[in-house]
Structure 1
Amino acid sequence: MENVISRRDRKKVQILNTLVDISMELFVAKGFEETTIADIMKSADLGTGTFYNYFQSKEDVLKYVLTQKFDQAKNSLERLIKSTISPQEKISQILVILGRIYEDNRQLFGLINHLGPNQPPHGPEFKDILVSIIDEGQKNGDFRKTIPIEIVIETFMGLIKSAATSHSKIPFMENLNYKLDLFLNGLTEKNNK
């Protein structure tokens, strides 16, 4: 049976998308702090009260957009975790997926500091995915068992941040791939003694 969306619901989705698109354009163009809800609604050609039917604050708009991006990444990662490729290849592909998402959304991720001291809205699911892959790799001998999973995760998460803040002239994805190579060489067991 076909899922038919009512005209009213289509209008709600259209307004939501308009609010998000205009908000993000203004956050990037004017700056997050300088953009007001009145600015957003004026650009959207809607009454200010309409904003509050969808969001409670500018921060909520930002959280909504970040959640959408993390959900897209999560779906890709869940497909990846079910694949039969090696844990090492899974780790490589995760970093490439996350790196591309970051590279395509640099301006968005530059706004995260406006959410305050809380973590971005991706929840514990991402960490759980990494833990399961690292655990799988340690159990089947692909990864060293002598390194605590927490350290592996911290180091892995630092790779994107390190590539993103690098002052090197090496392009972001190439920089990230070099760091991934170093990371995996340290994570995998070497029996060259």
Structure 2
Amino acid sequence: MAHQSGDSPNRQELRKMRTRTALVRAAQAFVATGRTNVAILQITQAADVGTGSFYNHFQTKEQLYEAAIEGALDVYGGLLDELTTELPDPAHMFAQHLRMIGRRHRRCPELS
């Protein structure tokens, strides 16, 4: 069956998404440890992808780091929204945000 617009992603699209995700996660791990001045080769090795794959998704390390930070902020924002949607009291919402910041940093430093 041929892939058509609107269908689920095909194997090539899934492979591209996995590769991009691996690169972003590797960058997030480097950012979390304060190691942003690493070679692209180190990033691709940490992501377990070929160096050429990097350039299929990003032109520069800065673009990758922007995507990594943006991705972490999206995850974080989604979690905050999920935790506070039902809370009517702004003070309770603020307290919930602070608790989540602390927990998130301990459990997933790459997202904080």
Tell whether the structures are fold-level matches, with TM greater than 0.5: yes
Alignment partner, residue 106 of structure 1:
109
What is the Cα-based RMSD across aligned positions, in Å? 3.2
Structure 1: gaps of 5 or more residues: 110-193
Structure 2: gaps of 5 or more residues: 1-5
Q: Per the alignment, in what secondary structure is the counterpart of residue 66 of structure 1? A: helix
Max radius of gyration: which structure?
1
Q: Relative to structure 1, is the Cα distance of residues 13 and 29 closer, same or farther in structure 2, using a 3 angstrom cutoff?
A: same
Aligned partners of 2:21, 2:60: CA distance in 1, in Å? 16
CA displacement, residues 85-110 of structure 1 (integer Å, 9 cap, x when unaligned): 3222111111112222233343665x
Alignment partner, residue 191 of structure 1:
none
Query: Looking at both structures, which has the greater relative contact order when contacts are Cα pairs under 8 Å and sequence separation is at least 6?
Result: 2
Aligned partners of 2:75, 2:45: CA distance in 1, in Å? 30
Equivalent residues of 2:32, 2:109 under 8 A apart: no
Aligned partners of 1:36, 1:16: CA distance in 2, in Å? 17
Q: Relative to structure 1, is the Cα distance of residues 107 and 87 closer, same or farther in structure 2, using a 3 angstrom cutoff?
A: closer
Q: Relative to structure 1, is the Cα distance of residues 84 and 66 closer, same or farther in structure 2, using a 3 angstrom cutoff?
A: same
Identity of aligned residues (%): 23
Q: Per the alignment, in what secondary structure is the counterpart of residue 4 of structure 1? A: coil
* Residues paired across the two proteins, number: 106
Give 1:28-177 correspondences, 5 Å limit.
Answer: 31-33=35-37, 35-42=38-45, 44-46=48-50, 48-106=51-109, 109=112
Q: How far 1:11 moved relative to its partner?
A: 0.8
Equivalent residues of 1:55, 1:61 under 8 A apart: yes
Aligned partners of 1:102, 1:30: CA distance in 2, in Å? 14
